Amino acid sequence: MIGFCILQRKYKTNRRHKTVSGKTETEKQSKHAPRSQFVSNSIEGHYRFAAVASDAGPPCARIGTHIMRRRHGSAVDAAIATLLCQCISNFHSCGIGGGFFMTGEKSAYTIIARETAPGEANETMFVGRSSTEGGLAVGIPGEIRGLWLAHQIGGKLPWKELFKPSIKLCREGIVVGNPTAFAISRQTENIKKFQGLKDLLVNPETGLLYEAGDKIKRPKLARTLKIIANEGVDAFYNGRLSKDIVADIQDAGGIITEDDLAKYTALRKDPVVVKLNLDKTVFSPPPPSSGAIVQFILKILDGYNLNEKSLSCKQKEIVLWHRIIEAFKFGFATRTNLGDGDVENEAFREKLNEFLSTLTSEEFVDEIRSQISDSQTFGTDYYGPTFFDTVNSSGTSHLSVLAPNGDAVSVTSTINFFFGSKVVGSRTGIIFNNQMDDFSTPNAIIPESPANFIKPGKRPLSSMSPSIIVGPDGVVNLIVGASGGTKIITSSVLVTVLTQWLGFSIKEAIDHRRLHHRLLPPIVDVERGFPQFILDGLVLRGHNITVQDSAGSVVQGVLQRREGCVTANSDFRKEGLPDGF
């Protein structure tokens, strides 16, 4: 195997690297000292042909690898099978009651399977009323329709086969991991209000909430998945399951009808594309995803010609992070212009398309960059927001896949908050999303964007930004995405900057302590452990710093420096595992 960047690892049930003499295996195998001051004991997988980076523990990434290696399935096949598993293992974050955005390459497509507002929805339905829980908070689920569309585009194996591992998991039981246990521990009050959630999360043997290491069986969901596997997508939207799905939602106060389900469509669209220096191309989903904002921020930073010398001294490093924060602020100022153009009028669609064209044009980006001062930051109004973005979420999951033939899939799925709307179907076992909360509401104290007001059939704005970066030779270089609300945008940018310009490995980039600024509130959220000298330099430039124990985001990435040299890392912050061959 000499001449190939490959290290086949047989992963043990322990998710962590074995530590020897205070150094992880990854450190000992690296030619250079870690670029990040913090090094977790997560696994950096080194492979030759293919990789899967999942935010769930075993066996999800291995399922994807098995699909490609043993069954000769495609990147899409692996993504579907892994995502189904991932949303059962991390069932607080995603599932078939939610939706997703997907970016695929080499044929360069995106799938928008974001939930839509029901036919009876209106823009004032949540004025003075909660939009976060109960049946009214549920948007029409898009997950299954989107996976079906993905399979039609790039699937090779039978649809039914991709469901088998997850059906087995539901029947035999899912071991509760630490991230899910944490989410469960925060549901003490909710289980008093939602019987289905209580039935799911309370251990009948102890009468207590399930904890890490416990096993949860989900026979109702297993039955639902088996019906979808055997009968296809119509079973969910216009067939055997649709009456039960609607009844589960309406029993909790929802307004989704069978007609709403039958009319739901997932969309195949061209990606938004931006060219960076070194002939690299970034592919991301169009609105209502925030892929265009990720690209806009990268385009701003691209003009600084960043490289490893940008970290050559403390002063340069301070300026680097200051510029990144300023680019974040301009990015979030522009984000409130985005919305779902598919259900708005022609004038809005034209305005949106014009805005997207302008957003990454050299002239516009140069003008924005010229407004960034290396010596100071400015007040909120300086960055030009018309409205403000107040949407956030906690329940999201990301998956990155690279196949042996070079195809790639980047997919981010969500039910929005932990356990979504808290509605668990008594008939279907489905945990339903609370995606209606992602819409803006008129008459809010903080003015929100009319581009994101509720309208029947409309998809709310999302921070999800699954992206793929391709090099000048057409070879996929980076597959990246994240979970974590608005921090999806900033963490995806950070990992891209660190790997593409500053020479970090995928593990070093994902391990690196993070910072985040969403313009409002005017605060830099900093993960604890970020170098103090940088924070001191940022304070001198006028930044308000808040140190937090958690980054608030989780990134999964696959990096390919050249063909035959593939590395993958699953963020230690959610205890996921990569796999590959």
Would you state the structure tokens that stand for residue 258, as one six-digit string?
């069978």
569, 26 Cβ separation under 8 angstroms: no
String of DSSP letters for 380-423: GGGG--SS------SEEEEEEEE-TTS-EEEEEEEEESTTTTS-
| End-to-end CA separation in angstroms for the chain | 13
Q: Is 414 annotated as a binding residue?
A: yes
Calpha distance 70→114 (Å, rounded) = 32
How far apart are alpha carbons 59 and 165 in whole angstroms? 9
Q: Which backbone phi and psi does 230 adopt, to 5 degrees?
A: -80, -35
Other beta carbons less than 10 A from residue 73's beta carbon: 24
The token duo for 87 is 């949303």
Backbone angles phi, psi at 276, to 5 degrees: -115, 170
> ∠86-49-152 over CA atoms, to 5°?
55
513: exposed, middle or buried (C-beta count within 10 Å: 0-12, 13-18, 19+)? middle
Q: What does the block give as tokens for 104? A: 């695929």
Residues identified as active-site: 396
Q: Cα–Cα distance between 333 and 518 in angstroms, integer?
A: 8
Contact between 138 and 256 under an 8 Å Cβ cutoff? The reply is yes
To the question of whether residue 413 is assigned a binding role by annotation, the answer is no
Cα 529 from Cα 54, distance rounded (Å): 25
CB 256 within 8 A of CB 425: no
Nearest Cα to Cα of residue 571 among 495, 515, 476: 495
571 is in an annotated binding site: no
Is the C-alpha dihedral spanning 421, 292, 481, 468 positive or negative?
Answer: positive
The reply, when asked if residue 89 is annotated as ligand binding, is no
Angle in degrees, CA 154, 157, 162, rounded to 5: 100
Q: Judge whether 485 is annotated as a binding position.
A: yes
Nearby residues of 451 by Cβ (< 8 Å), 6 or more positions away: 336, 337, 338, 339, 344, 348, 352, 440, 461
Residue 255, annotated ligand binder?
Answer: no
User: Does residue 134 have a known ligand-binding role?
Assistant: no
How far is 500 from 213, CA to CA, in rounded Å?
A: 38
SS3 content of the chain, % helix, strand, coil (to 5): 35, 20, 45
Phi, psi of 323 (to 5 degrees): -65, -40
Gap between the Cα atoms of 106 and 68, Å rounded: 17
DSSP, residue by residue, 426-452: TTT-PBPP-GGGGSB-TT-SS---GGG
Backbone φ and ψ of 82, nearest 5°: -70, -40
Helix axes 532-540, 314-335, angle to 10 degrees: 60
390 is in an annotated binding site: no
Q: Which residue positions form the known binding site for L-glutamate?
A: 114, 414-416, 438, 462-463, 485
Q: Which residue positions form the known binding site?
A: 114, 414-416, 438, 462-463, 485
